[in-house]
Structure 1
Amino acid sequence: MKKAGIIFLILLMTASLYLWFDHHRRPAEEWQEKSAEERRVEVSAGSSLEEIADKLFDEGVIRSRHLFKIYARLHEMDRNMQAGLYKFSRNQKVDEIVEKIGQGRVYTERLAVPEGSTVEEIASRAASNLKLTEDEFLQEARRSADGRNYLPDSDSLQYRIEGFLYPTTYLVPYDIDPGDLIDTMLDRFEEKWLDEIESFIYERDDFKESWMDFQENWTIREVVVLASLIEKEAVLPEEKPVIAGVILNRLKDNMRLQIDATVQYALTERKERLLYSDLEVDSPYNTYLYPGLPPGPIASPGDEAIKAAIEPDKNDYLFFFARGDGSHEFTKSYQEHLQRQRKLLD
């Protein structure tokens, strides 16, 4: 009987310990009673295990500080808690919470950067999706060029990085530093295109032949400027090399490019439709007033636009206009250009 009593007591203690453990490894009751499905908690750099446990408890993410610390120490994560912003769901248990912080699985968000985006448009998207503000992003954009010698450097540029923030979808920490975000985008451009553009400029004879009539030595900046013009002018992928050829032809003949997108970039506010007075805005980006390429890119070009810039179509076209369905009409003379426009309006 005595032995049976001891066994019963052990079983009772084991069951009690299990129930205590199971109860305290669940989210706090206060959270369960509220409607929020998730909570965000920021773990500051240098925080101790005790400080992290206190913060999670105060936020209602865990029921027991002690169990959190015990689990972290048992799994040797007590000295490996990583700083960052974390998102916890209502049904996460203490072991999952410890592992998330110990492995640094911070709260991430997707940031989609469409082709043809400007720095200011990217700043707006980043502020909508991430913790940073537009002003923080733009302040960093004005000074984020250290160590990247291929970026243009001119007093007429508002942002040296304009055109070089690679357009794609990024998965980044929600609280990412604006400088780190910009570096990520510039790194992606370098990984994707920098070496290839340099090889086209310095090594490929067919590339040089396409461009040499305009000037002898081209730079990475000028290639990206051209690609940005193509990106903003062309809708159909198959027309991008053709438009690249038209731009090069006009440069060769010392004709002003007269590209509306450059005027839009020069204006303080974008317009659905440009007025004749807008074409007189005094800006080096205004290709109605100033010859040659703009001093810098006007947007971030996508892959097809960059490829069109380094592999332009060899044609005799000097003019083009939009049909209204996304396609363009290309002509070799101004007289033909006007005739086609009138015919389209009839």
Structure 2
Amino acid sequence: MPAYAQDEPPRPGRRRRREDDGPLPDERPTDIIPAIQEAPMARRPGAAPPPPQGSEEEYDEIFGEDAYDDYDEYDDYEDYEDEQDFEDEDRAEPERIEDERPDRKGPPPKKRKKKRALGWVAALAVLVLLAGGAYYGFTEIFGYDDYEGSGEGDVLVQVEKGDSTSAIGNRLQAAGVVASGKAFVKAGEDNTAVSRLQQGYYVMKTKMSGASAVEKMTAAASKVGQVEIRPYTQFHDITQPDGKVTPGVYTLLSKASCADLNGTSTCIPVEELRKTIENADLAQLGVPPWAVASATKAEHKDRRLEGLIAPGIFNVKPGWTAEELLTDVVKISAKRILDAGLSEQSKGAGKTPYETLVIASIIEREAVKADFEKISRVIYNRLDEKMRLEMDSTINYVLDRPTLLTKPEERDKAGAYNTYKSVGLTPTPIAVPSAEAIQAALKPAAGEWLFFVKCEKNGLSCFAVNFDDHRKNRDDAERRGVI
């Protein structure tokens, strides 16, 4: 085999043999026979002198000038040798077999071409970059559908807690508000109000442009159905001393139900809510099991849910029936009351969960938060001593007035909520209790107080163990104009 052939790549499908592989099965080792030097042939007169032995001219004369052309077809396999280099790293390059003519030189070695695989990788990377750039440009210019104009008919869209801008866009698309969620997202990129959208219901229009949808959804008038019920609130409205009316739970829920959808009002009147509570199965509404029996027996049927509506924000869907609305609010409230710590397993000492809720409502109406635990202790001590509670808040509850001092004639009237006449707790709670009031009802402060009176203008009360000290506290508060 010519010496230069060892530097050429193997043909496809064939493994390059190593010198230490040994002979093939039917191959016998051949002895190296010294070459026999032939006598030079006589040259005819006038003929050109023969080329020097071992030169390229002599090689071309014997094999032809195109002897190497056949090797070009194997250029694609030049990289194969690189892949096999690891096989040859730990052994020396094999000796070349001596040619018959020691002084003959082979053809000049060919230069190794650059790895074609690297070229393909580079080309592929360029194609990926070009494709990515094309896609980005297409998306920016043509990548989403969008309506034109400010829309057509009204439609209600709900946003859930934790919704991202993209999620809101998808909800709008599903409701037919925008042609694509991205139309809303792109239009709201520079509007910080979009990122502040809260859960709840929004009145939108069908077939709005993304920009129009952003503008309408961030407008305050589009948010509907949201109501905040605060601690201290009761179901009936309260008339303040100056004549102003503080809306109760009935009024708040009725107002929250209102929206104008395509010219039709969704408002549920207060009277409809009232009748629903009077006649509903409280268990079906979602009232906690421990409260159903006591609430059902309430003297005033329209007050059966008093105290069972927890404070906080509610999202009421315009278009709900009165029963659907109340069921949603009651079930959410039941969970909040449980989260506040009140349950069948967690209740005031010697009290049922419902009685504990009643105590919490009285605490809410009688004191500021700093005094909650002390007021709770006074209530427990009076109940233990079989004393009448004598709380003005319970009388004013029936009269739909805020907690103020009552008149003698009002305290003389009989009634289950007149704790100047009746011993024990009121039949139902008298207000929406806060989580802090519930905790105070569960864990009253330690003390022997039996009396308290508001003695500071910031609402704080003074506490006493006996009536004489209580009278002194009361006279001092009157002298300073607190009461």
Amino acid at match of 1:187: K
Residue among 443, 462, 472 paired with 1:329: 462
Q: Secondary structure at the match of 1:112?
A: strand
Q: Distance in 1 between matches of 2:462 and 2:361?
A: 20
TM score, norm. by length of structure 2? 0.48
- What are the within-5 Å matches in structure 2 for residues 218-229 of structure 1? 218-229=351-362
Q: Distance in 1 between matches of 2:401 and 2:374?
A: 29
Q: Distance in 2 between matches of 1:192 and 1:316?
A: 32
Match of residue 139 from structure 2: none
The answer to whether residue 305 in structure 2 is matched with residue 161 in structure 1 is yes
**Which of the two has higher C-alpha Rg?**
2
Match of residue 319 from structure 2: 175
Alpha-carbon shift at residue 123 of structure 1 (Å): 0.9
Q: Distance in 2 between matches of 1:341 and 1:193?
A: 35
Match of residue 426 from structure 2: 294
Structure 1 residue runs without a partner (length 5+): 1-17, 32-38, 44-67, 73-84, 98-105, 202-206, 213-217
- What are the within-5 Å matches in structure 2 for residues 208-227 of structure 1? 211-212=349-350, 218-227=351-360
Q: Secondary structure at the match of 2:429?
A: coil
Q: Secondary structure at the match of 1:227?
A: helix
Alpha-carbon shift at residue 276 of structure 1 (Å): 1.6
Q: For each residue in 1:20-73, what CA deviation from the matched residue of structure 2 results, as whole angstroms up to 9, or x when unmatched?
A: x97x74246xx8xxxxxxx74589xxxxxxxxxxxxxxxxxxxxxxxx89x79x
Q: 1:344 to 1:271 in 2, by over 3 A?
A: closer
RMSD: 3.4
Q: Distance in 1 between matches of 2:400 and 2:413?
A: 10
The answer to whether residue 293 in structure 2 is matched with residue 150 in structure 1 is no
Q: Distance in 2 between matches of 1:269 and 1:325?
A: 20
The answer to whether residue 273 in structure 2 is matched with residue 137 in structure 1 is yes
Alpha-carbon shift at residue 112 of structure 1 (Å): 0.7
Alpha-carbon shift at residue 136 of structure 1 (Å): 1.8
Q: Distance in 1 between matches of 2:381 and 2:405?
A: 26
Amino acid at match of 1:26: G
Q: 1:273 to 1:130 in 2, by over 3 A?
A: farther
Residue among 435, 446, 450 paired with 1:314: 446
Residue among 319, 322, 334 paired with 1:190: 334
Aligned residues: 260
Match of residue 110 from structure 1: 226
TM score, norm. by length of structure 1? 0.65
The answer to whether residue 382 in structure 2 is matched with residue 250 in structure 1 is yes
Alpha-carbon shift at residue 270 of structure 1 (Å): 5.8
Structure 2 residue runs without a partner (length 5+): 1-141, 158-175, 181-200, 214-221, 237-247, 259-267
Contact 1:107 1:173 in 2 (8 A): no
Match of residue 304 from structure 1: 436
Which segment is superposed worse, 321-330 or 139-148?
139-148
Alpha-carbon shift at residue 269 of structure 1 (Å): 5.8
Runs of 4+ in 1 over 6 A off after TM superposition: 94-97
